Amino acid sequence: MNSVEVDVKSAWLSKINWVQVIGVAATMGTAFGVDLPKEELLQIVVGIQAVIGVVTWVMRTWFTTKLTPSSAVKV
């Protein structure tokens, strides 16, 4: 069996995790904290979710260089 030593970082420092947390907070804040017609709320929530998806995809594809301890176990 071959072994490789890699740098790992805490999941708390994960950019992707923070994008998701901020996205959920923005979605919940919009859905339950803003008094707008339902059609406008739907458009805002869909827009937030679309941005979160694209940002997560871009960060995971081009800007992730470190492993977290939980993902390193799977390697």
Q: Given this model, what pLDDT does residue 20 score?
A: 95
* Residues 6 or more apart whose Cβ sits within 8 Å of residue 48: 23, 26, 27, 30
Q: Is the pLDDT of residue 4 over 80?
A: no
Tens of pLDDT, residues 10-64: 888 888 999 999 999 999 999 999 999 999 999 999 999 999 999 999 998 888 7
Q: Given this model, what pLDDT does residue 68 score?
A: 67
Q: Given this model, what pLDDT does residue 24 score?
A: 95
Count of other CB atoms within 10 angstroms of residue 48: 19
